[in-house]
Chain A
Amino acid sequence: MKKIGVFLCHCGINISATVDIEKAMEALKDYPGVAHIEDYKYMCSDPGQQLIKKKIKDLGLDGVVVCACSPTLHENTFRLTVKAAGMNEYKMEMANIREQCSWVHKDKTVATEKAIKIIKSVIEKARLDEALDPIEVDITRKAMVIGAGVAGIQTALNIANSGYEVILVEREPSIGGKMAQLSETFPTLDCSQCILTPKMVEVSNHPKIKLMTYSEVVDVSGFVGNFKVKVKRKATGLDWDVCNGCGLCTEKCPKKLPSEFDQGLGERKAIYRPFPQAVPNRVVIDFENCTYMQSGKCGICQKVCPVKAIDFDKEDKFVEEEVGAIICATGFETYSVKDIPEFGGGKLPDVVDGLTFERILSASGPTGGEVRRPSDGKVPKDIVFLECVCSRDPEHYLPYCSKVCCMYTVKHAMLYKHRVHDGQPYVFYMDMRTGGKGYEEFYQRAAEEDKVVFIRGKVSKLYQDDDKIVVCGVDTLSNETIEIRADMVVLATAIVPSKGIRELTKLLKIQIDQHGFLSEAHPKLRPVESLTAGVYLAGCAQSPRDIPDTVSQASGAASMVCTLFANEKLKHEPIIVGVNEDICSGCGICTVVCPYDARKTNLEKKLVEVNEVLCEGCGACAAACPSGAAQQNNYTDNQINAMIKAILGKGG
């Protein structure tokens, strides 16, 4: 029989206050297979680990059960501990008597009994554990970053500057994301474009970065270190290798359309560059609105193009890339004003969202930086800003806080006052959230120096009356109803994930939360990783955040990628599901459920074959397999049955 050492941790008093450790030891010391039992205050501490190592060596233990916290936290710690003592690390098991026991119970008797059962079941598992060795895999040291907002740009630059190649995929014609649209940034009021464009240019000139704009990921296969990604390069109507970005075509094109970059306030042509500083400096044809594409007449751009780049080719191209890591940095969108009926549903021209106001404030925007309202170009004298529009409103809209709206609204009110000295900004807020370096000071400055009126309360409705917008709300501090006849209203609408995120995450096999933001592997300890190995997260795609947070997370994701690439070979968990060829008769049912395409039926041999590297050990196939041929390593049916029996007490 195996010689198993059982080590109980008090976790300070986290466990021992609720679980009677002595009683548990007494109940377990004669359990079959237990060769040694011992407790310690902090098993994960260095002396705790030394104690385990010593006992393995002294007693020749060939199984260890550490009764402590969740394996998510310390499995790795203790695997390394036993490995250092010469034991196979997969013969170490953790019995979680903290999260699953002491933390969720009050009654010591009950908790102790439960802890004993948990430990017994894990001893049963440990008895049947086999020695396993990690599976070794090669790495392609090239990364793909999806989304080229400031998050994607920062990630790409960091990885490229570490010497690895990067492919940066962006679905718009230019990189830059939302930050390129912003005017000035809180809390320092430096010009957004001015701090972003140097980075954009660095990306475009970087020898290690391959830029693919106007492109989208359409298929992903493979696994960490060895992904295959298919990218659709959307047709631009011209040859970008020939185009020199002179822009003559955009001048001469007769077809005018609202500019997306300017939030519909400015104009662009049917052949266009989204904004002057676009990277790459290239134009695209909007096929749906191009006169030539619609009627075969016009073709002016083709005539004026000095380098003959325009070919009206509508054929999308597809390229396949092999990469070792993928970073998803697809950013955000704002909740559309059109979907908020109580605030005019997008029908009131002078009720705009925050991004539109950024364009109005921007020196390169449609009004050249002067604050003029969209309907008639008048300078608004009374302007109302509403925070938390659709955020923090679980009954009607979204429950979460969009995090950046408080601060950018303060910025908007302040910048407005800097441009319109005799104007009066009013801000409706729920609570002012100014957590961040220099943020509270920024807010105080707006109230004191710029005389912004902050009203704590919510607005129930808005309506147009002549050329005024009537804002009806309540001041919840004084409990008075308030009505402001404003010239213009700016809504800080909620930050929501970018369109297409669901489809993309399906391709990447990563999870999203109920609102569509990317889920991290662990909210505290693995915030930049997804649960799929080799896929990382950066920026607002994960949750709303400001630029400093976005950039730090992006650097974090980049450093995770570099850490990955620094490995000579990748080690893949050996807790996978193989095939017992003595039993498997190739029914192929397991292949249907495998989400990673790790299993294939070989009809000729009447066997299922497994690609061990693709298997993530989810165990779906082991549950589906009707013959018992698919067993998860160290989680075999026998082990699980033995565990259940240990908990239920043999046979019920």
Chain B
Amino acid sequence: MGKPKVAFYWNASCGGCEEAVVDLAEKILDVVAAVDIIFWPVAMDFKKEDVEAMEDGSIAVCFMNGAVRTDEQVEMSELLRKKSQLVVAFGSCAHMGGIPGLANLSTREEIMHLVYHNSPGLVNPDEVEPQLVSKVPEGELTLPHFHESVKALDQVIDVDYYLPGCAPTPDMIMGAVTAILEGKLPPKGEVLAPNKTVCESCKRSETKPEKIKIKAIKRPALNELPEDKCLLAEGFICMGPATRDGCGARCMDVNMPCRGCFGPPKGVEDQGAKFLSALCSIVDSEDPKEIEELMETVIDPAGLFYMFSLPTSMRNKFYDKIER
């Protein structure tokens, strides 16, 4: 029996997840030694046809990063699903929609209008818009259909496991690969990260006051961040308490509050809503007007609380229609 076949693929992604794989550094050699990488567009020259030619289920595991918004991404996801025994949603975008998912706050038309007609610095005198099919002297060019909304991978295909993070840490990737190779996997559907929250590994958590109460909300861009204090207790919005652990509280180590890229802990359906109700609970006031004023100082709440999880939020589940 040959080495297990592994595929990597990217949908709507920034490339950071690919970078994370490369970040395995010399450990990647162990991976390469143990498996056969048969598809990895960013690094190797295989084509869609090569995958199509494979037998169904012949790929042991496919790691897919990026959110899904175009026909092409749906097609590739479905194809790889068919060919793979296991599909792992890799990184925040595949896991929950990620930062591209924030586009769901605008309609498709608004996005097109902004990008092709109203963006600062844009020169488009003929008001050209991308077309699905355009004729050029050489023949016909096609573009994939751009969907109404951004989706997480499991809203398009069946997903076996999730590796969370923007991007997943090298340790977690190695852990997951090892678990797969050794066949030591948890039940299907699990997120391959601890069940606790980021506070668990955050060194600042010992400095917390007995009760966290805040009178003002501070923004990291405008305030000096204390090196060694619980950031939430100091009034900085830190999503740590609402976010799954596994990153090792890296952001707090470099003095930035958690933005929630690992998604909610097990059992929580809507990370943003959970954090919002937690935040409301620690506002130190009984006066409705004062509370309202304080909450007004949260700039872009949807973007902040759902930075990585908007497509899988309750809101989206209720408003979104699946498009084919």
Residues of chain A whose beta carbon lies under 8 Å from any beta carbon of chain B: 580, 582-593, 601, 603, 606, 620, 623-629, 631, 637-638, 641, 651-652
Contacts and interface: CB of A to CB of B under 8 A. Distances in A.
A637 B266 CA distance: 12
B199 A637 contact: no
Interface in B255-272: 264-269
B266 A585 contact: no
A46 B205 CA distance: 57
Contacts of A592: 211-213, 281-282
B147 interface: no
Nearest to B199: A585
13 contacts: A585-B196, A585-B199, A586-B199, A588-B210, A589-B278, A591-B210, A624-B281, A625-B278, A627-B196, A628-B265, A628-B274, A629-B265, A637-B269
Contacts of B268: 627-628, 637
Interface in B197-240: 197-200, 205-206, 208, 210-213, 232, 240
B267 A583 contact: yes
A582 B195 CA distance: 7
B197 A651 contact: no
Contact of B210 (A582, A601, A638): A601
Contacts of A593: 281
Interface of B: 195-200, 205-206, 208, 210-213, 232, 240-242, 245, 264-269, 274-275, 277-278, 280-282, 317-319
A649 to B, nearest CB: 11
A587 B197 contact: yes
B240 A587 contact: yes
A603 B195 CA distance: 18
B265 A588 contact: no
Contacts of A629: 265
A97 B109 CA distance: 45
A626 B267 contact: no
A606 B212 contact: no
B318 A626 contact: no
Contact of B197 (A583, A624, A631, A638): A583
B208 A601 contact: yes
Contacts of A626: 197, 241-242, 274-275, 277-278
A167 B240 CA distance: 49
Nearest to B240: A587
A629 B278 CA distance: 13
Nearest to B319: A652
A495 B285 CA distance: 33
B277 A627 contact: no
Given A585-B200, A585-B245, A591-B211, A628 B266 contact: yes
B298 to A, nearest CB: 15
Nearest to A587: B241
A589 B213 CA distance: 9
A129 B240 CA distance: 31
A627 B281 contact: no
A590 B277 CA distance: 11
Given A585-B197, A626-B241, A628-B266, A652 B318 contact: yes
A651 B206 contact: no
Contacts, number: 99
A588 B267 CA distance: 19
Contact of A589 (B205, B264, B281, B317): B281
A638 B267 CA distance: 8
A628 B263 CA distance: 13
Nearest to B238: A587
Nearest to A629: B265
Given A625-B274, A626-B274, 17 more contacts: A585-B197, A585-B198, A587-B208, A587-B232, A587-B241, A587-B278, A588-B210, A589-B212, A589-B278, A592-B211, A601-B210, A626-B241, A626-B242, A626-B275, A627-B242, A627-B265, A627-B268
Most buried by B among A592, A601, A627, A631: A627
Nearest to A621: B281
Contacts of A641: 269
A103 to B, nearest CB: 30
A627 B205 contact: no
B207 to A, nearest CB: 9
A652 B317 contact: yes
A620 B200 CA distance: 23
A651 B245 CA distance: 29
Contacts of B206: 603
B264 A628 contact: yes
Most buried by A among B196, B240, B264, B318: B196
A582 B212 CA distance: 22
A591 B208 CA distance: 13
A511 to B, nearest CB: 16
A592 B205 CA distance: 16
Closest CB pairs A-B (n = 8): A624-B281, A587-B241, A626-B242, A626-B278, A585-B200, A628-B268, A585-B199, A585-B197
B297 to A, nearest CB: 19
A102 B280 CA distance: 36
B215 to A, nearest CB: 13
A584 B269 CA distance: 16
A414 to B, nearest CB: 50
B200 to A, nearest CB: 4
Nearest to B242: A626
Nearest to B200: A585
A628 B273 CA distance: 11
The listed residue with most B CB atoms (<10 A of its CB), out of A601, A628, A638, is A628
A606 B267 contact: no
B241 A589 contact: yes
Nearest to B271: A626
A583 B196 contact: yes
Contact of B266 (A583, A586, A588): A583
Contact of B241 (A627, A637, A638): A627
Contacts of A586: 199-200, 205
A196 B280 CA distance: 52
Of the listed residues B205, B206, B278, the one surrounded by the most CB atoms of chain A closer than 10 A to its CB is B278
B208 A651 contact: no
Contacts of B274: 625-628
A33 B212 CA distance: 43
A638 B317 CA distance: 16
A582 B200 CA distance: 11
Given A583-B266, A603-B205, A624 B277 contact: yes
A585 B212 CA distance: 14
B204 to A, nearest CB: 11
A580 to B, nearest CB: 8
A584 B205 CA distance: 13
A119 to B, nearest CB: 23
Contacts of B197: 583, 585, 587, 626-627
Given A587-B240, A601-B208, A637-B269, A606 B277 contact: no
A293 to B, nearest CB: 38
B196 A603 contact: no
A586 B195 CA distance: 13
Contacts of A582: 195-196
Nearest to B266: A583
A601 to B, nearest CB: 7
Given A588-B211, A589-B241, A628-B268, A651 B278 contact: no
A641 B314 CA distance: 10
Nearest to B276: A626
B281 A623 contact: yes
Contacts of B241: 585, 587, 589, 626-627
Contacts of B213: 592
A589 B278 CA distance: 7
Nearest to A600: B210
Contacts of A651: 317-318
Contact of A603 (B200, B208, B266, B319): B208
A603 B199 CA distance: 11
A582 B267 CA distance: 11
A627 B271 CA distance: 8
Contacts of B210: 588, 591, 601
B208 A588 contact: yes
